[in-house]
A and B are shown apart, each in its own frame.
Chain A
Amino acid sequence: MGSIKIEGLSKSYVNKRAKKRDINDPEKAGQVIKVFDDINMEFEDGEMVCILGPSGCGKSTLLRIMAGFDRATTGKILIDGQETFKTSPDHVYVFQQNGLLPWMTVWQNVELGLRHIEDEAEKTETIQEYIDMVELTGFEHHYPSQLSGGMQRRAELGRALAVNPDVLYMDEPFTGLDYLTHLKIREEVINMHSFIGKTMVMVTHFIDDALIMADRIIVMNEKPARVTMERKLNFSRPRNIEKEPGLRELRDEVFMELGVSYVA
């Protein structure tokens, strides 16, 4: 239903802004710049995977290509064995910020993916079901600007889940939230994942989020972008990094991998 296979994916672009004087610097001289090269990954159906890495390592580009917003230069993405390179309601992307359409109410935003349902009663029921699921009952007819950051994020999750996708891509979904809301939404996403069991691929630079949420973490590093570490997390949930020595060790290891040593 939602297994993903990435085969030999690479992305490069020509630097069009090059100037003549930069002729000796290949990155600036109008030459091909590689974002990443020959990436191979597999995601199991229902798995929650967090991709960690510094900004600029290509993790967001990778996620955008998987969602179909961007094209890979070479390589393939297979979802359930089917090659895909287009956007589709089967795999929905949750944006970092401002993913809701501001001129539509919560209701209309959720309705966006359910336009094809012809039976009005069924449509209404489905929309209400998902608004209730993300605990926005009573805010159906509010515009995004009238909601707090956390409520906006929940509304977008509700909209994404309403189309019953096989895969959910999340790009730094907690950006811009205050600390407590961050923790709360994180918990809600964990609960949602255990409840609906969708394949979720999340890109983040918060190591703690990855350790608490993921079934598996993938660490990418930059220049050249590549996968430098991959680990399955067989810890029971709910997780607490402070109380779980294995998680603490893993956290130190990830920090080391990303070049931060003093934490250990």
Chain B
Amino acid sequence: MALSKKFIYPLISFSVVIIIWQLVAMYSGWSESVFPGPLPVLNSFFELVANGSIFNHSVASLYRVTIGFYLGAIVGIPLGILIGRVKAVSYALNPIIQFLRPISPLAWIPLAMLWFGLGDNPAIFLIFLSSFFPIVVATAIAVSSINPIYFQVASNFNLSRVEMITKIVVPAILPEVVTALRLTIAIAWLVVVAAEMIAVQSGLGYLILDSRNALRMDYVMVAMIVIGIIGLLLDIIMYKLGRLGFIMAAKQHS
């Protein structure tokens, strides 16, 4: 019963949305080229799937997001640990981070293009910026809120500085960091579409811009739907990651 409700209810709500979409397309007075209905969009979807372009654009976007997001995590997590553990570093870097953080990654577009030219790099740089700040801040907060008992246990059993990081800090912050990564990848996915409207010739953002220029609103809608589906899948993957046994175990007591 509960399980079937879990599937039936969203099915109903999606059906309602599609019906409304169809009704608006039929009776709004907008022409099909301005507001295509569900069927023409489905047609165009199969068209783009058949010629492989939707796949290529998705891969291009995912590639940029993945690289930028990984870079953000690789730099952000260790720096966050350092800020959380060392007071001097925290005092030195925190104001700079708090100052740069509220600046939208999109504000960096002109500089990114100037510095990195055309192609993947400026987009990757923007994804990096949008991932780095949330990750570094969340990691630093997670580290500074570790229960001091764990460090006392560690020193009681003579753990070295390296073991302090690998056996205490990293596992202790894992649940919070995974949650931060889940939120961050959603932001990165938002930013990549905007970033791809400049300086590149591929990606879902480029597909939207290019389709608009060609007045193909059906392609715009296909791209939007694919963006939504991929975003959902990324979120599910990150959620499943956060449900792994050893991460859940760390969550219980902290």
Interface residues of A (CB under 8 A from B): 67-69, 87-89, 92-93, 95, 98-99, 101-104, 112-113, 115, 143-145, 163
Contacts and interface: CB of A to CB of B under 8 A. Distances in A.
Contacts of A163: 157
B250 A103 contact: yes
Nearest to A108: B167
A144 B253 contact: yes
A121 B252 CA distance: 32
A143 B252 contact: yes
Contacts of A88: 156, 158
Contacts of A143: 245-246, 249, 252
A95 B246 contact: no
Contacts of A101: 150, 153, 167-168, 171
18 contacts: A68-B156, A87-B156, A88-B156, A89-B156, A95-B153, A98-B149, A101-B171, A102-B249, A102-B250, A103-B171, A103-B174, A103-B249, A104-B167, A112-B153, A112-B157, A113-B157, A145-B253, A163-B157
Contacts, number: 63
A87 B152 CA distance: 8
Nearest to A92: B156
A228 to B, nearest CB: 29
Top 6 closest pairs, chain A to chain B, by CB = A145-B252, A102-B253, A103-B250, A103-B171, A143-B249, A87-B155
B65 interface: no
B98 interface: no
Contacts of A69: 152, 155
A67 B157 CA distance: 12
Nearest to A143: B249
B156 to A, nearest CB: 5
A71 to B, nearest CB: 13
Contacts of A103: 171-172, 174, 246, 249-250
Contacts of B172: 103
Residue from the set A92, A103, A113 with the largest chain B CB neighbour count within 10 Å = A103
Contacts of B250: 102-103
A217 to B, nearest CB: 26
Contact of A98 (B147, B159, B249): B147
